[in-house]
Structure 1
Amino acid sequence: MGLHLPDAIRLHAAERGTSTALSCAGATVSYADLDSRSNRIARALLADTPAGSRIGFLARTRNEAGEILVGAAKAGLVTVPLNWRLAVAELTAVAQDAGLTVLLTEPEFRAAADAVCAAIPGLRLIVIGPSAEADVPAYEQWLAAHPDDDPGRGTGSDADEVFLQIYTSGTTGVPKGVLLTHGNFYADSTELAEYLWEPESVALNALPMFHIGGLGWLRVALTAGANSLMFPAFTPEAAAETIEREGVTHAFLVPSVLHMLTELPGIEQRDFSRLTLITYGSAPITPVLLRRSMALFGCHFMGKYGLTEGGGTVTQLPPEDHDADGPGQYLLRSVGRPRRGVDVVIADPDTGKPVAAGTPGEIRIRSRHNTPGYWNRPDETAALYDAEGLLCTGDGGYLDPDGYLFLTDRIKDMIVSGGENVYPTEVESALAEHPAVSEVAVVGLPDEVWGEAVTAVVVLRQGAEAPTGQELIDFTRDRIASYKKPRRVHFVDALPRNPNGKVLKRELRAGIH
């Protein structure tokens, strides 16, 4: 099977409609129900939404995420999942950039949604849950008011149609909408087979829906006909209990989550015998943590490296390459080989020319999964691709003689903390607003739990009352999202710079202990 997501739902509804497609906190949606409900969403949107409109989704990982994604695709519209962890000002800026016409949210984020609506005249708000307001319909009432006949979009002939717009920051810290088409995002039969799916597979999805990892995992599980068990509020205790109680067979877990689970008291007494495969990625993982996780869960593991602009996975380390103690254990430091249909080239970042095996350079890719570009940003789109049509990831790495990719320092300064991208410029700009800060540079330092810890190196103004590190961290609370805040602050007399005045961040990293 190699189907676009709407066609996969249509097929499963016809062939095995009573099977569970989505489940969350005891609520289940069968494939027949998902097909019908997504049709109603499509008709509801088409009733008063112009062609090509952007549909915002501001909610946690829940069943409605799948319904809305499929429904908007069936209508030929574009879903824009919004990062609920952003500050209101950041969230509003993303919504304005996307030009949202409809925003679906849940009560937890109603205050933020109201602020967004106030900034965008005419934006229609729909609440997932009860609503007593005449001008703000409740989700279920909104669906029920429309027929469930299928508009028919999202088929094989719509491969080049954009249906998803995911916002990711750039090196300037300005969010950019990455466009993904049906052709970029569909799961083919080879990919599905690699996951070892069975008819009754249960796939835990504990990742947020604004993340390519969470959306990609939902996409592949639904295409395979599995039960996507949506997990809206992660705690390691609840995740361990859910995996055991619900008989989870498949999961996508970021390294920080694996660390939390392996450190959970009593975790060894849990019954994880139903687990077939754990996929991990979104941030680097240490071989120590990987071995510990393999021993604990006793199932197959699959590692992945990718990026939003590349449509998700670029390379993967399959189960057979997870050799804990044998001659192949060195591969645990790699992110595997390119997936089928993906070409990976390591290029000299200055000349763009390919380098020899074992030589570090910038990772560049050619693939049908590559984005056609950024929303309304032609200059940034042009800069994303080199003269050979390769997507420039900004990540550093090298290929060994057998074609395995090993990551090195990033070409860009991006920090990956707990699976989330943090761009130093954003944090630096927030800290620079403090009256006692003269200069600041932000780097990522290795951290056992988070992968990398956002670390600020600060030069204070002469004569200013010196704040503590915690005071500076607290200062950023209302300026940037919580996960972007520094976890550590170091004070120095001066920042190291090259003759051109550029801060030497590599020296900063090496000098902090």
Structure 2
Amino acid sequence: MEELKPKPANSSPLTPIGFLERAAAVYGDCPSVVYNDTAYTWSQTHRRCLQLASSLSSLGIKSGHVVSVLAPNLPAMYELHFAVPMAGAILNTINTRLDARMVSIILRHCESKLVFVDHLCRNLAVEALSLFPPHIRTPVLILITDDEVSLTVPSSSSADHFLATYEGVVEKGDPEFKWVRPKSEWDPMVLNYISGTTSSPKGVVHCHRGLFIVALDALIDWSVPKQPVYLWSLPMFHANGWSFPWGMAAVGGTNVCLRKFDGHTIYRLIERHGVTHMCGAPVVLNMLSNSSNYNKRSLRKPVHILTAGAPPPASVLLKTESVGFAVSHGYGLTETGGIVVSCAWKPQWNSFPASERARLKARQGVRTVGMTEVDVVDAESGESVKRDGLTPGEVVLRGGCVMLGYLKDPEGTSKCMRDNGWFYTGDVGVMYPDGYLEIKDRSKDVIISGGENLSSVEVESVLYSHPAVNEAAVVGRPDEFWGETPCAFVSLKDDARMATEIEIIEFCRAKLPHYMVPKTVVFRDDLPKTSTGKIQKFALREVAKSMGSSRANRM
């Protein structure tokens, strides 16, 4: 056997870009992308991506260059997930909710050569470029127009910054362009930034191989059939939409794009297009189950929804499934490119009461088939914690879709990707006897009160079970005696009666150990969120800090 070695015939670099070629061959006349009155087939999407890649090359974009995008879920955003790497370049999608300062920092950090900018983000982009130091060359801007908004001509202050329009760039390209295949499957393909709160954002770099693995892995784990109708409720700029831009091409799905969404918009598009699949953070589930127009009746057909991004309260899962959504729950990070742990459902659980099924589904679960290993380890010894569902530790991962590392940050890379072969996530979790993982908190979100570590997620789960609570987040508030105590930020349902701080505290006291009960409850109409619906706890921690020491019961 020793003479049998890898050969060119079996060593072609893995890349998800090839999914598009196959989609054009197999599903050529089937719908690929739908947005308002715009619709393309897979043949058309393939052609447009080749043209766009050709134009990028004509503009001087070469292998290894970074091309950025500042746009919501539009057809252009979908096409750029293929066209940019087809030109040999690295795709960098930027959160549209960032301020100009942070956008400017990102563009400078990654040395972006060109930025595609949505019509409504043009002032943000121009302001970001104005913050560049005089000696640093600014990237070229391409304007993405949109039939949904007023197509006004850019103001004189910003018009000079735009080289062309997106459609103009597409039209000039060669549809016979021979796209640039990676020389190595380890070549970088995408760059995603995970920090929008500091001056030193972390740029996560993924290669063709890793994205190929996670894209197919996600389809298998979620049991996605051929030609699904996928609603883009998850921003594509967030970890590349958990790899589903490429995954939908692999199965010939229909991508229903939308600029922004609320409960009514999602339900309307589900009915109009016959949506079968969608993704979203738990806050999206909460929004759907509380939508005043639809929470009294069920969907005509079940819609599969994959949730991740934050531990979902069991009560929210229960309400969402009662409306007609078939919820799957998973766990992943920007550093893994998508979902790598999922709550794989066991047939015997179907006979359990709904509340027990929801409790089980709230766990993150077991590794997907594409991951090698998942574990929870003690922070000091590095050994696996007891599988008792109680002993906390740090979640660690290893597998083919873990990132290459952080751009220009070898220290940060080595800190989380250690020589022992594990990627350290920074998430706190427990492992159950059946091998299922449950995330308890981010390490930075654990509240230490009187020497006791308490999970903000567990407190939030109880708060969500209160009939008047719409959303909840718990952070630590400084306390002279205890160090810090739980502080709950709560928004109430529109049609709910007014709840009081004392009532919320007593409700929690009946369900939690005394030290875990919030000592302060702050009512707010709207909690600060990221673009993907995660509540921004760092912002709430600052609010709690500004409130000063809590006057907690010293007993």
Normalised to the residue count of structure 2, the TM-score between the two structures is: 0.74
- Is 1:69 aligned to 2:42, yes or no? no
Separation (CA, whole Å) in 2 of partners of 1:457 and 1:145: 60
Separation (CA, whole Å) in 2 of partners of 1:144 and 1:244: 33
1:185, distance to aligned residue in structure 2 (A): 1.3
Q: Match for 2:195 among 169, 194, 214? A: 169
- Is 1:486 aligned to 2:502, yes or no? no
1:246, distance to aligned residue in structure 2 (A): 1.6
1:98, distance to aligned residue in structure 2 (A): 1.0
Q: Match for 2:329 among 276, 281, 303? A: 303
Q: Match for 2:91 among 79, 84, 93? A: 79
**Equivalent in the alignment of 2:10:** none
Separation (CA, whole Å) in 1 of partners of 2:479 and 2:163: 47
Deviations 1:347-377 (A, max 9, x none): 1112322223123200000010100100111
Q: Is the 8 A contact 2:98 2:196 kept in 1?
A: no
In the TM superposition, what are the counterparts of 1:169-318 in structure 2 within 5 Å?
A: 169=195, 174-186=200-212, 187=214, 191-212=218-239, 214-268=241-295, 272-297=299-324, 299-318=325-344
Q: Is the 8 A contact 2:297 2:323 kept in 1?
A: no
Q: Structure 2: 5+ residue runs without aligned partners?
A: 1-12, 146-150, 448-455, 465-469, 481-521, 528-533
Q: Match for 2:40 among 26, 29, 33? A: 29
- Residues 492 and 76 of structure 1: is their aligned pair in 2 closer, same or farther, counting only changes over 3 Å? closer
Separation (CA, whole Å) in 1 of partners of 2:256 and 2:539: 30
Q: Is the 8 A contact 1:164 1:179 kept in 2?
A: yes
- Alignment: residue pair count: 454
Q: Is the 8 A contact 1:205 1:217 kept in 2?
A: no
**Equivalent in the alignment of 2:492:** none
**Equivalent in the alignment of 1:425:** none
In the TM superposition, what are the counterparts of 1:318-329 in structure 2 within 5 Å?
A: 318-320=344-346, 323=350, 325=353
**Equivalent in the alignment of 1:116:** 128
**Equivalent in the alignment of 1:353:** 383
- Is 1:385 aligned to 2:417, yes or no? yes
Q: Is the 8 A contact 1:250 1:275 kept in 2?
A: no
**Equivalent in the alignment of 2:495:** none
**Equivalent in the alignment of 1:331:** 360
- Is 1:400 aligned to 2:416, yes or no? no
**Equivalent in the alignment of 1:344:** 374
In the TM superposition, what are the counterparts of 1:460-499 in structure 2 within 5 Å?
A: 485-486=539-540, 489-490=543-544
Deviations 1:112-157 (A, max 9, x none): 11123332524111001266757520111111112122433356x6
Separation (CA, whole Å) in 2 of partners of 1:52 and 1:402: 44
1:492, distance to aligned residue in structure 2 (A): 7.5
Aligned-partner residue type, residue 125 of structure 1 = L
- Is 1:16 aligned to 2:16, yes or no? no
Secondary structure at 1:409's aligned position in 2? strand
More moved, 228-237 vs 484-493: 484-493
Secondary structure at 1:265's aligned position in 2? coil
1:58, distance to aligned residue in structure 2 (A): 0.3
Q: Is the 8 A contact 2:102 2:196 kept in 1?
A: no
Secondary structure at 2:543's aligned position in 1? strand
- Residues 451 and 29 of structure 1: is their aligned pair in 2 closer, same or farther, counting only changes over 3 Å? farther
**Equivalent in the alignment of 2:16:** 5
- Is 1:56 aligned to 2:68, yes or no? yes
- Is 1:125 aligned to 2:141, yes or no? yes
Separation (CA, whole Å) in 2 of partners of 1:198 and 1:509: 55
- Residues 509 and 219 of structure 1: is their aligned pair in 2 closer, same or farther, counting only changes over 3 Å? farther
Q: Is the 8 A contact 2:331 2:364 kept in 1?
A: yes
Separation (CA, whole Å) in 2 of partners of 1:509 and 1:212: 41
Identity within the alignment, %: 23
- Residues 194 and 382 of structure 1: is their aligned pair in 2 closer, same or farther, counting only changes over 3 Å? closer
1:405, distance to aligned residue in structure 2 (A): 0.3
Q: Match for 1:159 among 167, 180, 185? A: 185
Secondary structure at 1:136's aligned position in 2? strand
Separation (CA, whole Å) in 2 of partners of 1:510 and 1:213: 44
In the TM superposition, what are the counterparts of 1:357-368 in structure 2 within 5 Å?
A: 357-358=387-388, 359-368=391-400
Separation (CA, whole Å) in 2 of partners of 1:52 and 1:213: 18
Q: Match for 2:115 among 93, 103, 106? A: 103
1:171, distance to aligned residue in structure 2 (A): 9.5
Aligned-partner residue type, residue 59 of structure 1 = A
Separation (CA, whole Å) in 2 of partners of 1:316 and 1:263: 25
Secondary structure at 2:141's aligned position in 1? strand
**Equivalent in the alignment of 2:402:** 370
Separation (CA, whole Å) in 1 of partners of 2:101 and 2:239: 22
- Residues 456 and 53 of structure 1: is their aligned pair in 2 closer, same or farther, counting only changes over 3 Å? farther
Separation (CA, whole Å) in 1 of partners of 2:19 and 2:167: 24
Q: Is the 8 A contact 1:237 1:264 kept in 2?
A: yes
More moved, 313-322 vs 4-13: 313-322
Q: Structure 1: 5+ residue runs without aligned partners?
A: 416-442, 460-468, 475-480, 496-507
Aligned-partner residue type, residue 114 of structure 1 = V
Q: Is the 8 A contact 2:70 2:93 kept in 1?
A: yes
- Residues 189 and 57 of structure 1: is their aligned pair in 2 closer, same or farther, counting only changes over 3 Å? closer
Normalised to the residue count of structure 1, the TM-score between the two structures is: 0.79
Q: Is the 8 A contact 2:53 2:179 kept in 1?
A: no
- Residues 24 and 456 of structure 1: is their aligned pair in 2 closer, same or farther, counting only changes over 3 Å? farther
